[in-house]
Amino acid sequence: VNAPLHYKRVVLKLSGESLADSGGRGISGEESGEIARQIKLAHDTGCQIAIVIGGGNILRGAQFSGSNSMVHEATAHYMGMLATIINSLAMQDALEAHGLQTRVMSAIPTDKIAETFIRRRALRHLTRGRVVILAAGIGNPFVTTDTAAAQRALEIEADVVLKATRVDGVYSDDPEKNPHAVLYESLTYSDVMEKNLRVMDATAIALCSEHKKPIVVFNFKKNGNIVRAISGENVGTWIGA
Ligand code: UDP
């Protein structure tokens, strides 16, 4: 199992928290600017980049409905999808401040603020060198943006799903709690499922496994790692067949 030398097209999954300061809430100009700077460098290598952004820095449906019994869980998930649109708009301006051309494409039509996701249109933007920011997940409740990243990667025939996290890759246990947790260099989809490793949600893993779409889990906080990951360097944990 080896990563190719250079990816032509990637889906980069950023959690909502990656745009926030260390507390994990809201949107930080500094954090989103730094991510944008690295994406610009990666884009300069000639890679086509689609970004899926989460909404966890604002609201996660499952959590929110758990603590607000008046709000139906489905409603809360729609609120989470709206949060991803807010993040996408922030990321769009951050990327454009670094000289990139971008389009936000939303799975939920919001014609005043973003294009609606249309597969062939997304492909057109990518081949023209625009960074495409995919907002509102897949537009349906009860899943997360991990599933959206996997699904869109299949749709647009991305070479890989790059999952940006705060740790160096996939560990045998939570490395922020267990100092003896071991970092895996590569894993198969069945390793992930059988060992119940927390990589992405189960639907996302199942989709990638069924269609043999590789996933790379890496630490976006380490300087230069986003560029390395997008450029196809071995960084973090590689998951494939
Ligand atoms: N969500 C959804 N459908 C989707 C994508 C997201 O219902 O296709 C909702 C879900 O409630 C999720 C929230 O939007 O918790 C925010 O996304 P996510 O939790 O994936 O954000 P992240 O953890 O990546 O910041």
- Predicted pLDDT at 1: 46
Check: complex ipTM more than 0.90: yes
Residue 196 carries which side chain, given as an amino acid letter?
A: N
The answer to whether position 86 is within a domain reads: yes
Per the CB < 8 A criterion, the answer to whether 218 and 167 are in contact is no
C-alpha distances in Å from residue 173, one per residue of 87, 101, 180? 30, 40, 8
Confidence of residue 205 (pLDDT cuts 50, 70, 90): very high
The answer to whether position 218 is within a domain reads: yes
List the CATH number of the domain containing 191: 3.40.1160.10
- Predicted pLDDT at 24: 81
- Using most ligand atoms within 8 A of CB, pick from 84, 86, 108 the residue to mutate for ligand 1: 84
Residue nearest to atom 18 of ligand 1 (CA): 54
- Per DSSP, the three-state class of 82 is helix
Tokens representing residue 64 in the block: 């929110």
Q: Enumerate the H helices of 68-170 as residue ranges.
A: 73-97, 119-127, 145-155
State the DSSP H helix or E strand holding residue 107, giving kind and residue range, or none if neither: none
The answer to whether position 25 is within a domain reads: yes
> Is residue 169's pLDDT more than 70?
yes
Per the CB < 8 A criterion, the answer to whether 204 and 198 are in contact is no
Query: 105-158, pLDDT tens digit by residue?
Result: 999 999 999 999 999 999 999 999 999 999 999 999 999 999 999 999 999 999
143 CA to centre of ligand 1 in angstroms: 7
Residue 71 CA to residue 89 CA, distance in Å, equals 26
Q: Which domain holds residue 100?
A: 9-240
- Predicted pLDDT at 5: 56
Partners of residue 14 on adjacent β-strands? 53
The answer to whether position 3 is within a domain reads: no
The answer to whether position 139 is within a domain reads: yes
- Predicted pLDDT at 176: 85
**The Cα angle at residue 46 between residues 49 and 205, in degrees rounded to 5:** 35
Strand order in the sheet with 186-188: 115-116, 102-106, 131-135, 48-53, 9-14, 160-165, 215-219, 237-240, 186-188
- Predicted pLDDT at 80: 98
Residue 10 CA to residue 134 CA, distance in Å, equals 12
Q: Residues marked as binding?
A: 13-16, 55-56, 60, 138-145, 165, 171, 174
Residue nearest to atom 2 of ligand 1 (CA): 141
The answer to whether position 4 is within a domain reads: no
The answer to whether position 221 is within a domain reads: yes
According to DSSP, the β-strands at 160-165 and 237-240 are unpaired
Number of separate domains in the chain? 1
> Is residue 22's pLDDT more than 90?
no
Percent of the chain with pLDDT over 90: 89
- In terms of Cβ atoms closer than 10 Å to its own Cβ (0-12, 13-18, 19+), residue 202 is middle
> Is residue 194's pLDDT more than 70?
yes
Tokens representing residue 49 in the block: 């980049």
- pTM metric for this prediction: 0.95
The answer to whether position 2 is within a domain reads: no
